[in-house]
Homo-oligomer: A and B are copies of this chain.
Amino acid sequence: MFPRLPFKMKKEIILKPIGIIHTPYKEPEGMPIQGKFERDITGQVEIFPEYIQGLKDIEGFSHLILIYYFDKAKEEKVIGKPFLEDKLHGIFAIRSPMRPNHIGFSIVKLKKIEENRITFSEVDILDNTPLLDIKPYVSHFDSRDDVKNGWLDKHFTSGKIPKRVRIEKRG
């Protein structure tokens, strides 16, 4: 089926949580579609003690990229509905947790670091989510001009944030 693939390409990749993300969201209902749209809610990252040294110098960054595991997502889909509309899209054109690998990605705003706890705002993550990685958000690397946002642009034409929030259980 994959004649040109070296065998190792089909191998499992084993990762481990490096901490836990604590947030006020116990369920997907009521969570904003993206953290950027809910600036007053805060969450906390609790890093396991063996990784505390890794936090050195992150206090100079205003924003962090959190990469985490959607551990509540039990299904894998190739087609799905986003929160913003009822049309089906390919899973790689939306941010649904029910993707082939349940990897989540959020940009959050750093508020405070105390030992192994990072307080942040701009939260769109469920409580008790296993954390996989933290990377510094670097505007010189991560911002882009002239962006086309596919099916999403029509929801932002007014310049306003769409009011829709997550209202369905999405596993």
A93 to B141, CA, bound (A): 14
**Identical subunits present:** 2
Instruction: Determine which of B34, B65, B67, B143 lies in contact with A141 in the assembled complex, contact meaning CB atoms within 8 Å.
Output: B34
A-side interface mostly:
mixed
Asked if residues A92 and B130 are in contact (CB atoms below 8 Å), the reply is no
Given contacts A11-B17, A56-B79, 20 further A-B contacts (CB under 8 A): A1-B49, A9-B17, A15-B103, A18-B100, A34-B140, A53-B90, A54-B78, A54-B79, A55-B92, A57-B151, A60-B93, A61-B148, A62-B144, A62-B149, A94-B136, A100-B133, A107-B142, A136-B150, A137-B147, A139-B149
Asked if residues A136 and B95 are in contact (CB atoms below 8 Å), the reply is yes
Q: Which of A1-31 contact B (CB under 8 A)?
A: 1-2, 5-6, 8-18, 20
A95 with B17, Cβ < 8 A, contacts A54-B78, A141-B34, A142-B107 known? no
A5 to B147, CA, bound (A): 41
Interface centre among A100, A133, A146 (most CB of B within 10 A): A100
Asked if residues A60 and B150 are in contact (CB atoms below 8 Å), the reply is yes
- In the complex, what's the smallest C-beta–C-beta distance from A103 to chain B, in angstroms? 5
Question: In the complex, how many residues of chain A place their beta carbon closer than 8 angstroms to a beta carbon of chain B?
Answer: 79
Residues of B within 8 A of A101 (CB): 15-16, 18, 67, 132-133
